[in-house]
Structure 1
Amino acid sequence: MTMSRSGPVQRSVLPIPDGRSPTPTAYDAKDPEAKFPPIAPLRPPAGAPNVLVVLLDDVGFGASSAFGGPCQTPTAERLAAQGLKYTRFHTTAICSPTRAALLSGRNHHSVGMGGITEMATSAPGYTSVRPDNCAPLAQILKLNGYATAQFGKCHEVPTWETSPAGPHDRWPTGSGFEHFFGFIGGETDQWYPTLVEGTARAAPWGTPQDGYHFTEDLADRAIAWVRQQKALVPDKQFFLYFAPGATHAPHHVPKAWADKYEGRFDHGWDRQRELTFARQKELGVIPADAQLTQRHDEIPAWDDTAEDMRPILARQMENYAGFLEHVDHHVGRLVDALEELGVLDDTLVYYIVGDNGASAEGSLQGTFNEIISLNGMGELETPEFLRSRLDQLGGPESSPHYAVGWAHAMCTPYQWTKQVASHWGGTRNGTIVRWPRGVRAQGELRHQFHHVIDIAPTVLEAAGIPQPTLVNGISQEPMHGTSMLYSFADGQAAERHETQYFEIFGNRGIYHKGWSAVTKHRTPWQTVGDVGIAFDDDKWELYDGARDATQAHDLSRELPDKLHELQRLFLIEATRYNVLPLDDRSFERLLPEVSGKPSLVEGKRQVLLPGMGGFTELHIVNLRNCSWSLTAQVVVPEGGANGAILKIGGHIGGWSFYFKEGRPTYCYNLFGITRSYIRGTRAVPAGEHQVRMEFAYDGGGIGKGGNVTLCIDGAEAGMGRIEHTEPLAFGSVYSDVGRDGLPHVTEDYGSGDNAFTGQIKWVQLEAGEDSHDHLVPPENFVRMAMAKQ
């Protein structure tokens, strides 16, 4: 709130200083001379629009029907018909960097996000920590009088700051958003999401059986927020950032949406590329003379797939298409709500169809439960296994991802996919702009080159807000993006974003005035990629965008001087924006002792106390591939106790230690396929007691089994065996002391309350000294980390 002042508001220094209070000129407030200017609430400049930015997840250029793809997206088509379609808009090729670049207006390495947060290092371009001299768009808008809210995915918080203990400075509400509802991290289960409101854990309103789905909940929350804003402060503009987890894996969608596509992909991914390519030419989103790039040898041909796998592979794509149409439908509900409120035409809408290319992280055959393949045990998913669960694909029992071939097809007409920052398949995402007051044209195409860093400066220019020179007393780095406003009115205007570097995991490229020079250093589904190949030995390719819109014809041999010119330019840009030193390490970047990032959990022992909750497996001591124990000090009431002491994981993998009919019980859930139960031989009597579970690991490798012993007050009270364990992770599911929240690990209790009916004084976890983590192949760790972005 600012005091009245004469003259224009100075907005280059934020927060905007309050106006000087006038000196009193009267003794009595009733004196006619005792008048002061009214208090003027801070508002954006006159004519500033509301802003809605929609960012989908893992959608390739060739997926949405708005850009020629097979997945129906009527909301995207509707907005495009009333606005503009940008056919050469780019992201960074992966999640965290794209989001950090969008929200800051700066190149991703300059805001410390050279990779996903899980692979942060202490190098300036890779810390995952946004520097204070790069204030994000939400903060700038809030300090200029906008109401701000984010709904959906936030994967920009450093991993060591993601626990309930914070700090929360880099969570959305510490980065300019007054309200946040969504999840922190790379992905979440759409049926059982790990939700946060503000900085506190939140719970879904129901279960899948009740009709709950995360995307629908997000849309409901966003609609409720904007309705409240316009009801209570109708003269205050809003910035609404809607970033659902769809269509990132797991591909969860109500079955009816997938069934709409039954039989539509039986022709396979190679034919789908041809069909999409033809449709893209009809729509004009690629030039009439464009050529379809070749499928690389690393990606199998559809005709080479096994006959018994084809119905499974086709269903994976049906499920994905339903997922994309489903999220577009709920974006449409949000747009409808703005229209009903009468504010849609005063809203600058950006609909960015994907934060990178389609994801090729689902393996060459796809998966029913991605946790199986991420743990390096994909051999469990035989054709028979997949076929037996085909009707459950996409439902709450699954955690699916489609095969690499479909990801490639969803990036038509370009080479490669997500993670490959060198080629357009990884970085080109269809984008739609609608703003009737600022965009007179309807249904037109825009072919100027643009990048996600252009969003923030465009919004500020549209709002009449200058880029600040000082924020909270800190001099600001100018935004690196170029406003797109010039192109709104003129489709023939010369493009102004003339140079842009790209780099993710050593895949790198440079665009300059129509030309691009690129080199792929790593293949997404081969998680250790080309590690060991020197950067100087990478093969660079050269493309002339004026004659080759799809990067189909490599000119590096014909024009070596032009290639060298662009390679030098890449190094100049890389030096300018903190890209150097290039880092193609994989496993090493996950290790705090090597990467230089803080460790969230130290040592082999941890004590948890009653009332603690909302943490994930990431936030507890590592209990994998070793012997370990859980000890709990409890008070049992008369008549015995029931309910959970502690669980880690959920329905697709995890373990739970709890009381059942007064007896201590341990359940190990292996990928949702089998559940092993070790039950106490006697009940724990009333009073204070110590219960303990000891797991004696077999050793000899990772993912092995072991013997379980249950004890009451130090005396043995049950034994059993676990034949196999999950070697790496169970996925991101909330854990609480004294409760097994949804989704449950065990089937011993239903969806009702399973809180411990006695009193828990403390729970201690202790890992043994016989860890076999050194036997875990580095690519397995990388696969797990890379899937969570």
Structure 2
Amino acid sequence: MQPDRHARTMLPIPDRPAPGLTTYDAKDPQTSYPPIEVLLPPDGAPNVLVVLLDDVGFGASSAFGGPCRTPNFEKLAAGGLKYNRFHTTALCAPTRQAMLTGRNHHSVGMGSITETATSAPGNSSLRPNTKAPLAMTLKLNGYSTAQFGKCHEVPVWQTSPVGPFDAWPSAGGGFETFYGFIGGENNQYDPALYDGTTPVEPPKTPAEGYHLTEDLADHAIGWIRMQKALAPEKPFFVYFAPGATHAPHQVPKEWPDRYAGEFADGWDAQREKTFARQKELGVVPADAELTPRHVEIPAWDDMPDELRPVLEREMEVYAGFLEHTDHHVGRVLEAIDELGILEDTLIYVIIGDNGASAEGTVNGAFNEMANFNGMAALETPEFMRSKLDELGSESSYNHYAVGWAWAMDTPFQWTKQVASHWGGTRNGTIVHWPNGITERGGLRTQFTHCIDVAPTILEVAGLPEPTMVNGVQQSPMEGTSMRYSFNEPDAPERHDLQYFEMFGNRGIYHRGWSAVTKHRTPWEMVGGTLAAFDDDVWELYDGAAGDFSQARDLSREQPERLHELQRLWLIEAVKYQVLPIDDRTADRLNADIAGRPTLVHGTSQQFFPGMGRLSENSVVNIKNKSWSVTAEVHIPEGGANGVLIAQGGRFGGWSLYLHEGRATFLYNVLGIHTFATRADEPVAAGSHQVRMEFSYDGGGLAKGGGVALYVDGDPVGSGRVEATQAMVFSADETTDIGYESGTTVSADYTAATSRFTGRIEWVQIDLGDDDHDHFIDPDERMRIAMARQ
């Protein structure tokens, strides 16, 4: 093997032309230059595929004893290794940024989600340029790089069409190709997609069988095939991050139907079944204990009889969703195998970026936006039963109940967001690399963490950590390569110290011991007073003595060891920018107080035709107040139709459009109630101003109001909206000018027929001075922000 001649610690690798004879005439026989070489990694660098699923608990996948059948994960594990002590951060964006950089989440500014960023370094959502992402390092060393799926690492004020795009995958993230979505969740049937930084529409409609996970797999397979066809000598790095299985739990009906009746015993019984299977598989030790249910989680037997069929179906849909995801990940794996490169591809399948999500309320939801708007009472047991057959379909935006999340985290305590306990942070992980791992079907029990993935990949590729990237000196990675454990099952663990923290839930792991304290419960974020940090109750667990699941609290028996670990947590917190601990609610959602930039200022905002994909935080907030929208338009002879401006979609929003030539304003409340006001006559040909004025009733939140339509100042129609949405229209739908993307607010048009057939000069929203937002409880704002990620 030839020694590597490149100075790879400085990226981009400096061009260093060799001195030599320069001739005057190119025809001179002595004219000689070395051939131009394609930059490649060192010899032996494998292809790399990292698969990261969303919101899947340790006890969900059948590969780790769960009830959701994942045959492709099982097959992959049979040819590689399972890691049963792999950890994440308890929340999606922090896990992703940590994994992609090899640094702790606070070190890269992602102490929580982007929507709650502050100006504190550990919570800014800004990755320092001293911590370049893995994809950038690999690209600058000759890898082909591509990401497909979810990216929730872009600061919220940088998600609009004007960027800046430094934090987007294909701009500053190091991925040459990106196809996916920006944000915490997306509609699986009508996603807001980007190709690079350009908005694109899905290639098919839901009626034609579209589903996001399948689309992402199609693009990943196509890209891998093309890369190997055109540049077979270059290894690839593919990051495949489907939105599955984050809510909404949407999947074609045939997948949930496979689980009909399998969850009739409820979540308490499911925990027992899963725990027994986990022991049979050996993914938990024979002496592990099943942790009990906390009082905050309702017992299955205490749930209303009339709701149980709905609760069962919620879990059937989720199980089908995860199996469907396994199927399409399997297609990507099969494509790699068919190319003959599976043996030399390092594959990580990380089954979840945190524990299972308990953000669906104790009853679950048909449209989680109802709960986010304080209108969960609309989803009565009777309503839920009427919608049972629609769960998982394109007409639903559903989530399962807290009890199912707890069951999917078997055998551990708690769920997603609870960084203190393994239920929030331990995720089953599979590593497969036949050319580098001799054992097939092995189990590895060393403590590992998502920050270990990047240094592992660099070691396997024979690449050093860069000391300089794009002229900026780099800080060291904070993870530990897992390569040492690949062929040494009993090797002592090297990652033996790790802190955890999320919104005050915190813990420390050190050489088998863990000290933890839960500061808040994810689904109880409204009302009540949180304990002072110094008053939080800490627990102590001895994993080295066989307490795999944190079942035996030793804090009273060994207070000195607990205090030692508490001090160690504080030292690590200082080292990695965790301090100040931040459990605030309203202050973190107010950009001015939090100290992060915002795109929206003032009480008026003007838009122009063609603008679109504007997230809610890119548009002035019209909720709980009077407001108006005015459009300057030109109507051709024969009239015009189509959208002037629309915000939201099928599950909540509003639209001002022309239908049969008549100005129409429609307000859609959660997809349950619609209120339409139409003009008496079509808008005549020529230039006009079409205006809608909404007069809010006042007296609190989510009230109704009067609607008045005008053309050139003349009244042309009036109506009424009986109720409005107080907090949010959508997690993924946007505001569009001159058309509507995604699902549509109104059934009068489709996305394909929504384009305005006249000409729009401009559209302007103006807010009234009767703002009732002060009625919104600060804790409620925080709960909604957390549940949408």
Structure-2 separation of matches of 1:777 and 1:388: 31
Change in CA separation of 1:237 and 1:6 when aligned onto 2, cut-off 3 Å: closer
Task: Please list the CA deviations of residues 166-196 of structure 1 after superposition, one character each: whole Å capped at 9, or x if unmatched.
Answer: 0000110121011100000000000110101
Q: Does 1:154 align with 2:154?
A: no
| Correspondence for 1:632 | 631
Change in CA separation of 1:488 and 1:177 when aligned onto 2, cut-off 3 Å: same
Q: Is the 8 A contact 1:521 1:529 kept in 2?
A: no
Structure-2 separation of matches of 1:741 and 1:671: 18
| Correspondence for 2:117 | 120
| Correspondence for 1:608 | 607
Q: Which amino acid aligns with 1:31?
A: D
Structure-1 separation of matches of 2:498 and 2:22: 59
Structure-2 separation of matches of 1:656 and 1:428: 44
**In the TM superposition, what is the alpha-carbon distance from 1:529 to its structure 2 partner?**
7.5
Structure-1 separation of matches of 2:556 and 2:474: 43
| Correspondence for 2:26 | 29
Q: Is the 8 A contact 2:143 2:237 kept in 1?
A: yes
**In the TM superposition, what is the alpha-carbon distance from 1:568 to its structure 2 partner?**
0.3
| Correspondence for 1:684 | 683
| Correspondence for 2:567 | 568
| Correspondence for 1:667 | 666
**In the TM superposition, what is the alpha-carbon distance from 1:778 to its structure 2 partner?**
1.7
| Correspondence for 1:783 | 783
Using the size of structure 1 for normalisation, the TM-score is 0.98
The worse-fitting range, judged by mean Cα deviation, of 610-619 and 589-598 is: 610-619
Structure-1 separation of matches of 2:577 and 2:257: 47
Q: Which amino acid aligns with 1:14?
A: L
Q: Does 1:42 align with 2:39?
A: yes
| Correspondence for 2:210 | 212
Structure-1 separation of matches of 2:195 and 2:733: 16
Which runs of structure 2 are paired with 1:645-724 in the superposition (5 Å)? 645-724=644-723
**In the TM superposition, what is the alpha-carbon distance from 1:616 to its structure 2 partner?**
2.3
Q: Does 1:371 align with 2:363?
A: no
Change in CA separation of 1:505 and 1:84 when aligned onto 2, cut-off 3 Å: same
Structure-1 separation of matches of 2:497 and 2:751: 55
Structure-1 separation of matches of 2:223 and 2:734: 25
Change in CA separation of 1:531 and 1:52 when aligned onto 2, cut-off 3 Å: farther
Q: Which amino acid aligns with 1:775?
A: F
Q: Which amino acid aligns with 1:614?
A: R
| Correspondence for 2:94 | 97
Structure-2 separation of matches of 1:642 and 1:167: 34
Structure-2 separation of matches of 1:268 and 1:186: 29
**In the TM superposition, what is the alpha-carbon distance from 1:34 to its structure 2 partner?**
0.6
Match of 1:54 among 51, 56, 61: 51
| Correspondence for 2:72 | 75
Q: Which amino acid aligns with 2:607?
A: L
Task: Please list the CA deviations of residues 569-624 of structure 1 after superposition, one character each: whole Å capped at 9, or x if unmatched.
Answer: 00000000000010110221010111001112111100001121221222111111
Structure-2 separation of matches of 1:671 and 1:528: 21
Q: Which amino acid aligns with 1:156?
A: E
Match of 2:415 among 414, 417, 425: 417
Q: Aligned with 2:544: secondary structure?
A: coil
Q: Does 1:737 align with 2:737?
A: yes
**In the TM superposition, what is the alpha-carbon distance from 1:528 to its structure 2 partner?**
4.1
Match of 1:199 among 182, 197, 200: 197
Task: Please list the CA deviations of residues 513-543 of structure 1 after superposition, one character each: whole Å capped at 9, or x if unmatched.
Answer: 0000000001000124875421000000000
Structure-1 separation of matches of 2:478 and 2:740: 47
Q: Which amino acid aligns with 2:627?
A: W
Q: Does 1:644 align with 2:643?
A: yes
Structure-2 separation of matches of 1:262 and 1:285: 27
In structure 2, stretches of 5+ residues that fail to align are: none
Q: Aligned with 1:39: secondary structure?
A: coil
Task: Please list the CA deviations of residues 451-506 of structure 1 after superposition, one character each: whole Å capped at 9, or x if unmatched.
Answer: 00000000000000000111112111100000000000011000000000000000
Q: Is the 8 A contact 1:522 1:529 kept in 2?
A: no
Q: Aligned with 1:730: secondary structure?
A: coil
| Correspondence for 2:382 | 384
**In the TM superposition, what is the alpha-carbon distance from 1:25 to its structure 2 partner?**
2.9
Q: Which amino acid aligns with 1:755?
A: R
Structure-1 separation of matches of 2:33 and 2:115: 54
Structure-2 separation of matches of 1:557 and 1:106: 34
The worse-fitting range, judged by mean Cα deviation, of 606-615 and 516-525 is: 606-615
Q: Is the 8 A contact 1:112 1:125 kept in 2?
A: yes
Q: Aligned with 1:320: secondary structure?
A: helix
Identity of aligned residues (%): 63
| Correspondence for 1:281 | 279
Q: Which amino acid aligns with 1:209?
A: A
**In the TM superposition, what is the alpha-carbon distance from 1:23 to its structure 2 partner?**
4.4
Q: Is the 8 A contact 1:45 1:465 kept in 2?
A: yes
The worse-fitting range, judged by mean Cα deviation, of 333-342 and 778-787 is: 778-787
| Correspondence for 1:254 | 252
| Correspondence for 1:342 | 340
Match of 1:233 among 213, 219, 231: 231
**In the TM superposition, what is the alpha-carbon distance from 1:661 to its structure 2 partner?**
1.4
Q: Which amino acid aligns with 1:555?
A: L
Q: Is the 8 A contact 1:112 1:130 kept in 2?
A: yes
| Correspondence for 1:164 | 161
| Correspondence for 2:761 | 761
| Correspondence for 1:558 | 557
Q: Aligned with 1:635: secondary structure?
A: strand
Q: Which amino acid aligns with 2:133?
A: P
The worse-fitting range, judged by mean Cα deviation, of 714-723 and 750-759 is: 750-759
Q: Is the 8 A contact 1:522 1:531 kept in 2?
A: no
Structure-2 separation of matches of 1:712 and 1:271: 63
**In the TM superposition, what is the alpha-carbon distance from 1:22 to its structure 2 partner?**
3.7
| Correspondence for 2:774 | 774
Q: Aligned with 2:325: secondary structure?
A: helix
Q: Which amino acid aligns with 1:639?
A: G
Task: Please list the CA deviations of residues 383-437 of structure 1 after superposition, one character each: whole Å capped at 9, or x if unmatched.
Answer: 1100001111000000000000000000000000000000000000000000011
Structure-2 separation of matches of 1:721 and 1:306: 37
Q: Is the 8 A contact 2:191 2:742 kept in 1?
A: no
| Correspondence for 2:262 | 264
Structure-2 separation of matches of 1:315 and 1:292: 25
Task: Please list the CA deviations of residues 610-667 of structure 1 after superposition, one character each: whole Å capped at 9, or x if unmatched.
Answer: 1212212221111110000000000011111111101001111111100011110011
Q: Aligned with 2:746: secondary structure?
A: coil
Q: Is the 8 A contact 2:4 2:42 kept in 1?
A: no
**In the TM superposition, what is the alpha-carbon distance from 1:750 to its structure 2 partner?**
4.0
| Correspondence for 2:60 | 63
Structure-2 separation of matches of 1:522 and 1:491: 37
| Correspondence for 2:748 | 748
Q: Aligned with 1:349: secondary structure?
A: strand
Q: Which amino acid aligns with 1:141?
A: L
Q: Is the 8 A contact 1:521 1:530 kept in 2?
A: no
**In the TM superposition, what is the alpha-carbon distance from 1:751 to its structure 2 partner?**
5.2
Q: Aligned with 2:107: secondary structure?
A: helix
Q: Is the 8 A contact 1:371 1:729 kept in 2?
A: yes
Change in CA separation of 1:59 and 1:530 when aligned onto 2, cut-off 3 Å: farther
| Correspondence for 1:536 | 534
**In the TM superposition, what is the alpha-carbon distance from 1:788 to its structure 2 partner?**
2.2
Structure-2 separation of matches of 1:246 and 1:723: 36
Q: Is the 8 A contact 2:740 2:751 kept in 1?
A: no
| Correspondence for 1:8 | 5
Change in CA separation of 1:435 and 1:773 when aligned onto 2, cut-off 3 Å: same
Structure-1 separation of matches of 2:308 and 2:384: 11
**In the TM superposition, what is the alpha-carbon distance from 1:711 to its structure 2 partner?**
0.2
Structure-2 separation of matches of 1:221 and 1:345: 22
Q: Is the 8 A contact 2:739 2:751 kept in 1?
A: no
Q: Which amino acid aligns with 1:728?
A: M
Q: Aligned with 2:335: secondary structure?
A: helix
| Correspondence for 1:591 | 590
Taking only aligned residues, the RMSD between alpha carbons, in angstroms, comes to: 1.1
